Amino acid sequence: MYPETISPICDIMMTISLNIDSNMDILLKTRCTKGFLVIYEDKVAIELKAFGTHKTNSMPYSRITGVEVNTTMAKIPLLSKGVATVKIFGQGDQKLEAPFVNLDDAKKAEELINARLQ
C-alpha cells in the first residue's frame, strides 16, 4: 500500500477508537495491581492495557450482588495513603477482585457501586 491510502485508513480507525472511548461515562478510574478498576454508568470493569493489548473483565450492575472493601494497609499521615482490596460479588461464583487500590478510591468505589445497586 502507498502512504496516500494508509493515512485515511489510520484517520478512520483513530476516529472510531475515540468515539468508543468517549461514549462511555466513567465515574471512577483508579490503579490496581491487575490494571485499572473502572466504574462506569452501567458496569464495573478491571482493565489491563499494556504492550498493545486491551483485556477487560467486567460485570453489569444487574449481576452485582455486593461489594466488599478489605483494608490491606492502614492510612498513616505523611507515610502512607493506605491500600485496600475491592471485591465485587456477582451471581453464582462470579467475582471481580482489584487488589492494592488506594484506600480513598476503594471507599469511593464502594459508595458508587452501592448507590447504583439500590
Nearest to 99 by CA among 108, 110, 87: 87
Q: What fold, for 24-117?
A: PH-domain like (2.30.29)
Helix (H, G, I), strand (E, B) or coil at 33: coil
Q: What does the alpha-carbon distance between residue 111 and residue 106 come to, in Å, rounded to a whole number?
A: 9
- Domains of the chain, residue spans: 24-117
Distance CA 52, CA 41 (A): 26
For the chain, which residues score pLDDT lower than 50? 1-2, 5-23
Cell 486491551 sits on residue: 54
pLDDT score at 34 = 92
> Which pLDDT does position 9 carry in this prediction?
47
Sort 54 into a burial class: Cβ within 10 Å, 0-12 / 13-18 / 19+: exposed
**φ and ψ at 10, to 5 degrees?**
-65, -40
Segment 37-53, tens digit of pLDDT: 999 999 999 998 777 77
Contact of 32 with 106, CB cutoff 8 Å: no
CB neighbours of residue 8 within 10 Å: 9
